[in-house]
Amino acid sequence: MLIKRPTDIPSSEITDKETYLNRRHFMQSALGLAMLPLFNEAQAGYGNTPLKHEKAERFRIDEELTPYKDISSYNNFYEFGTDKYSPAKQAQQLTTDPWSITIAGHVEKPGTYSLEDIMKPHALEERIYRLRCVERWSMVIPWIGFSLADMIKRFQPTSSAKYVKFTTLERKSEMPGLRRRVLDWPYVEGLRIDEAMNPLALMAVGLYGEALPKQNGAPIRLVVPWKYGFKSIKSVVKIEFVDRQPVSSWEQAAPREYGFYSNVNPQVDHPRWSQKRERRIGEFLKRKTLMFNGYEEQVAYLYKGMDLRKNY
């Protein structure tokens, strides 16, 4: 059962990550040895590699962080299973080192770059972003990463580049979910290039000060906080600069339910449920969904004059 914390608890008294993870002893004594294996499984797969980073104050929000355990054990990553708990277990077999990303399309500097080459010019920073999933649940996550816009500038897209297309790893030997034709693999997502250049767009390599857990998209993923979570593609291996709008995986699978833009919009319901309210993981009561997930001031200009019901 999820219990909402009293609203009068100051943020300084919220349980921090280390204290939360050190509750193994309590779990063992309170629930007995029979429950310990389940607790250990839920704790599996954390990054554990500290990342040097700076705190980016302009990208921080004054909201309670979702506990590391919940972020790392309740995931959408269909390559490792369609339920929320399979990825934390199944993703541990994924090989993330070495890792490379292919840069292709309308750019001056195409090629295949190692993850180290991709990250080298960029200082890592912590950004606290809301994550809103289309299934009506949400989190607040302290991501570690670098600006997508800065990375794009480095590869010098040409004037023909109107969109950025992202592709996830497809490795059947390590991704059991690929055996099921839930989607047309590999997973593909896309942004308009002006969306990709927005300062909020982030290439994340960690969270809570450590390297990304594999179930959260290790070793590198996109984070676009004003869009529904499936737009923030995980385990990226290819970035293409294209002149035509790419067809994203969910848009292809169910175009009536998932559009290319997928901006968080409480006024546009999913065909099977309302998007007006959401449940923050760790809370019992639902809260109102914010337009653009609360980032309206930073991104509304991107969609000026557009019909956001039609361009959902």
Domain-embedded: residue 269: no
pLDDT for residue 126 is more than 80: yes
Average pLDDT over residues 10-35: 39
pLDDT at 47: 75
Asked if 107 and 241 count as a contact pair (C-beta separation under 8 A), the reply is yes
Q: Is the dihedral of CA 309, 256, 87, 148 positive or negative?
A: negative
Give the Cα-Cα-Cα angle 14, 17, 205 (nearest 5 degrees).
Answer: 125
Domain-embedded: residue 93: yes
d(CA 158, CA 31): 60
Domain-embedded: residue 107: yes
Higher pLDDT: 234 or 13? It is 234
Average pLDDT over residues 7-20: 41
**What does pLDDT average to over the chain?**
89
Residue 275: both structure tokens together = 């998007």
Those residues with Cβ within 8 angstroms of residue 204's Cβ, 6 or more apart along the chain or in another chain: 143, 144, 145, 212, 217, 220, 221, 222, 223
Domain-embedded: residue 111: yes
What CATH code is carried by the domain that includes residue 112? 3.90.420.10
d(CA 187, CA 198): 23
Give 300: exposed, middle or buried? Use CB within 10 Å, 0-12, 13-18, 19+.
Answer: middle
Which ranges constitute the DSSP H helices of the chain?
Answer: 17-21, 24-31, 36-43, 68-73, 86-90, 115-119, 148-155, 193-196, 249-253, 296-299
In the structure, what pLDDT confidence band is assigned to residue 17 with cuts at 50, 70 and 90? low
Number of structural domains found in the chain: 1
Helices 24-31, 36-43: inter-axial angle, 10-degree rounding: 160
pLDDT at 32: 34
DSSP-assigned letters across all residues of 72-113: HHS---GGG-SSSSHHHHHGGG---SS-EEEEEESBSS-EEE
Q: What is the pLDDT of residues 73-96, one digit of tens each?
A: 999 999 999 999 999 999 999 999
d(CA 160, CA 72): 39
Domain range for 151? 45-134+142-248
d(CA 93, CA 87): 10
Domain-embedded: residue 70: yes
Q: What is the pLDDT of residues 158-190, one digit of tens each?
A: 999 999 999 999 999 999 999 999 999 999 999
pLDDT for residue 29 is more than 90: no
Residue 12: both structure tokens together = 């300084």
